[in-house]
Structure 1
Amino acid sequence: MIPRGFCGLTSMRRLHGFRAHMDGDWCSLDELGPLSQLKLLKVIQLESVSSASFAAKARLGEKIHLIDLFLHCTSKLGDYWFGKEYEGISQAEQQRIAEVFDELCPPPSVENLHIEGYFGHQLPSWMISTLTVPLHNLKTLYFSDLACCTQLPNGLCQLPYLHLLQVCNAPCIRRVETGFLQAATTPFPRLNNLSLIGLVEWEEWEWEEQVEAMPHLDELFLYNCRLRRVPLGLASNARALKKLIIQDIQHLSYLENFPLIVYLTLLGSPDLERITNFPNLQKLTITDCPKLNVLESVPALNMLVLEDYTMEELPEYMRDIKPRHFQLFCRLWLLCSVATGQSSIEWDKFSHVEHVKAYAYDDMNKRMWYVMYTRSDNFEIDSNISRSSIFKEKLYLLLW
């Protein structure tokens, strides 16, 4: 704790870990009021603030030099951030924390804002309103552990300099509605990095094809949700999008018609079946997507990385694509089949690739096996797997 009298340090520029403690003789939010020179402020344990009147005494809106602001509550999600809605927060608590945060409206000078552990039903009013959002200099915005929040605020899309937005662990958001993008002439005019992580119940993203938004979005990361389809508006209007990472998304069955994406990474998407029409795609990484059976219209593909330790044969789509480089991580049984070269049933799926590197691990012997292949070297295979090893592996699997 910090003893009272802290407000006398009026020349302070950076203050980390200020506890919003309200008991006894310790420092509380009113001690922040006179600290007008602050450039960085991190306030923690805001759940301890019993009334909005205490938050008002911090006079955040008057700190015209403030650039970096961190507003933290102790997370209500705990180890259950990837689960369902947290049920231990009363409506009265939600209302109280919302009123406290409403009084913590930042000054227009703030460029970097972190809000963590907030458990109100809606985000602060100074974010929701499309007319009074004061954060017109904001460049980066992070939300984390929003236990009860049900929607993203509409006011963010009009921030003229926002270039990075990350939302992490918001289990009550089920839809991202049209209002998220329709409160400005060009929504998110400079946003180039968007991450939506741990929205575990999120199923629908409303973005119609005719709604122009995010013209400078360069990188998009979607992780751990139930999104059934990527909206048409994203493919049509995010004209600068070069990098797309999709991880642990349930129910997503296809990706198609992204004209400018260069790097695509797919991790643990169990229902993905089809990828088509990525004319500028150069590097594709696929990990644990067992239903993927269609990969087509990727003429610029230079590197394919495939990692799957359960598949028993190379996918059929390998016959129809022509990457220059192919990197494979698989079970030892499949690697042994690849190692037999032209006599392998897999030969027609990789022989046309210029460079192949394939790896497997032997759990019994703790050894890494490899197969190397270069098409220009007269189709020769380089491997540390001997023919006897291949025979033993086949025999072991048959007996097992």
Structure 2
Amino acid sequence: MAQFSSNPIRSAVPFLLGLICCTPLAAVAQSLPPLPPVEPTLPTVNNSPNNSAINNSAVLANTVSRDYASSSYLLGPGDRIEVSVYSFPEYTGPMSVLPDGTIILPIVGKVMAAGKTTDQLTQDLTRVLNTILVDPAVSVSLNALRPVVINVAGEVYRPGPLQLQDATDVTGAAAYSPPYISEALVQAGGIRRTADIRQVVVIRELPNGNTVRTNVNLWDALWSATVPEEMLLRDGDLVFVPRLPEGEELVDNRLLATSSLAPDTVRVRVVGEVTRPGEVAVPPNSSLSSAVAIAGGPTDDARLKEVVFIRMDDTTGEVMQEVVDLRNLVDTYQIQDGDVVVVPKTTSGSVLDLAARLINPLNFLLNLFD
């Protein structure tokens, strides 16, 4: 007579093993619950009109959150990193991000590093090495940052590409300080007097291919008692300084001329009865008398009572000229880039005629044959 076990669980084990062995693997796989979908790490781009930071027809771009654009440092070609895999020295050591944005690991080959933070790269390396190693403990840190190269366009004196910083070693005691917009404008020669620093635009391309545009108001930094937020720049950023709307001027041009955003000097032509006539470089907040002094001062034959001040309007193209009395070498005029100061001689006839001859000598020669 067959004997049965009194333990029902032990009796059911052979039956279950036999059932599993006789069941096809495809049926077993279909019976398993599906894996949850992997959520993307990049933010969703909002293309609604209300989400646009600036309406500027020069560049059309999608807009993402400013918090994402100002997140942790993103790796790129030229960065030097330190990869450490515990107990696996062949995967440990310094590496450089190659021009194609990758790093190279033994057996694994190329792994994309550009556009990722060190934490994101650590997760990617852990996932990749987990296929060939047993429980790899991976860490990634920065050794040196690549140079910060940006482009500055618009109302600055020297637009074009700028290298704001060389490769920066971050392993020492000195803390890394990313460059600000104001530093870029200063290295671009300073802003022109026609610049609208209330609407400075920073255009940045994100790793997902989208572009974020941020509007920065630098005018508040010149007179406000509080320190406004100024955007930190990244390698590859574009800084655009727009022009003031036609007929509009900033409230205080002298404040702008004396600020750190202004150029060190502007070019002014001082001609006539001065010691060193020609183009001179003067500080942007200088007066007419200061420009005359920088040109060596007036000669003994100078008629300071009728000095001619000539300026071309940037918006209309009209030439404006005015007679100024500089006998006391004191005036309230603020010099601007491109101004002309004519110091006539005491024996000259018409002061304005002399100015016209100096500015347009071709017309003077033609008048000789009339």
TM-score normalised according to structure 1 size: 0.27
> Which one has more relative contact order, counting CA pairs under 8 Å at least 6 apart?
2
Tell which structure's C-alpha radius of gyration is larger.
2
TM-score normalised according to structure 2 size: 0.28
